[in-house]
Every structure is written in C-alpha cells, then in structure tokens.
Structure 1
C-alpha cells in the first residue's frame, strides 16, 4: 500500500519558502531534515529534548495541529522568541488532515 504524501511549506525567517511532500507518519522535523531545510537544527534527533526544531504553526492549522503536551511545553521554554503558535516540529506527525501545512522558522534556534 502506497503511503500518502502530505505537502508542507517551510518559510525561513527571511521569507524563502520550501514546499515539500512528506510521507504520512513522519514528523515535520524529519521531513525538514531529510530535505535539508535550513533553520531546523534538530540537535536531539526528535527526542523532544531540546528546542532546535522550533517552528511557528500557521494560525489556520493551529487547531488541527493541537497544543503541545507538557513535555514539549517545557522544552519550548528554551526556544528563542516563543509565541502562542510555537511548536517543536519533532512533535507534529503528518497525516492527511495536515495537507498544506505551513510553518514559519524563527531567526534563531535554541
């Protein structure tokens, strides 16, 4: 059975866009790393043990993506320029509902 592809747009802090199709089930961070999107450092490899895959979820997707769990919320305290729509991209798993997801990258990670 073929995996469903989910389109994600990553927007760098300077406005440069990267539109990438990622496999259903991967995280937003995994897709970024596999496709060399600049600005997603992912120092801990997706273990929710750092804040170097911090993204801002486009408000139109906030409800679909949901709120961070307690562990992610604690890690986000280490993110530079945390906002209401801040999430760790290692904690956002792609599925068909997130088709067209847009995330913006902060100027600095960590």
Structure 2
C-alpha cells in the first residue's frame, strides 16, 4: 500500500498516524444503497473535493452531490461520517487504529461493515455498496441565508 500523510483535503489532523491506502487505477462503481444513486468512479478525476482522504467514500460522495455529514472536515477527528460498507469491503484499505478509536464513538456499529467515509478508500478492484445511515452524532445543521 502507498503511504500518504493522514490529511483531509480540508485540513490535517496532527494527532494521528499515516494513512495507508491504494488509489484505484481502473473505473469502478459505488452504489449508495439507501439513496439509489450509483456513481462511476474515474481514477483520473480523483480527488473530487476537499474533504477526506483523496479517493475516500466521503470525497466521492460529496463530489457527486451525496451529503454525508463530516463535522471535522474529513480528518478522522469525529465519527459523524460513519457509513456501512455492505459489499466490497475487501477492496477498501484496512481501518487504522485511529479510525477504529473514532468509530468507538459512533452509534450502531456493525462488525466488519462500519467505516468512517473520510478514511475508507476503495482501490477499484471491485464495486462497492455503501449505506449512509439516516442518523449521526451531529444533529445540528447550519442554514446559510
């Protein structure tokens, strides 16, 4: 796996270690199960945005208009982007100890399926099915006028 600094595109968390992940080299599909949205991920377009690791589920979702709460800006400092990887977990980088520590704060953990969207980077070797829970720990949303 390629080692890169554990940074969200929106910032850096100096209190955690290096992320290990492999970016895809081929197109693959992420299906957001509870929204019915299917996204074809093109590795040449990564990263899509400014939050989460480049190529993370959070980066891809936000880049395609799928809202996943991410109170910390995608730097593995909260658990608001908790998702369930229903299919394709073997194509995702393993969760780091830092990510697992943050997941301990998330509600309704599912063994072998719970991940932080900001840290979960699929490598493109198979299609992924993700469920974004309706709830999360940050229930407050700012309204911009």
Asked if Structure 1 and Structure 2 have the same fold, meaning a TM-score greater than 0.5 normalized by the shorter chain, the answer is yes
Which structure features the higher share of helix residues? 1
- How many residue pairs get aligned? The number is 102
User: Aligned pair 1:88/2:107, yes or no?
Assistant: no
Report if aligned partners of 1:50, 1:75 keep a CA contact under 8 Å in 2.
Answer: yes
Shift >3 Å, 4+ stretches: none
Q: After TM superposition, list the pairs within 5 Å mapping 1:37-48 onto structure 2.
A: 37-38=66-67, 40-48=68-76
* Residue of structure 1 in register with 2:59 after alignment: 30
CA contact (8 A) 2:70 2:81 kept: yes
Partner of 2:85: 57
Aligned counterparts of 1:57 and 1:103: Cα–Cα separation in 2 = 5
Task: Give 1 or 2 for the bigger CA radius of gyration.
Answer: 2
Question: Which has the higher relative contact order, 1 or 2, with Cα contacts under 8 A spaced 6 or more apart?
Answer: 1
Q: CA deviation at 1:28?
A: 0.8
The answer to whether the Cα contact below 8 Å between 2:89 and 2:128 also exists between their aligned partners in 1 is no
SS at match of 1:91: coil
Q: CA RMSD in A?
A: 1.9
2:103 to 76, 82, 106: 76
Unaligned stretches of 5+ residues in structure 2? 1-24, 47-54, 138-145
TM-score of the superposed pair, with normalisation by structure 2: 0.62
The gaps in structure 1 that reach 5 residues or longer are none
TM-superposed deviation, 1:72: 0.4
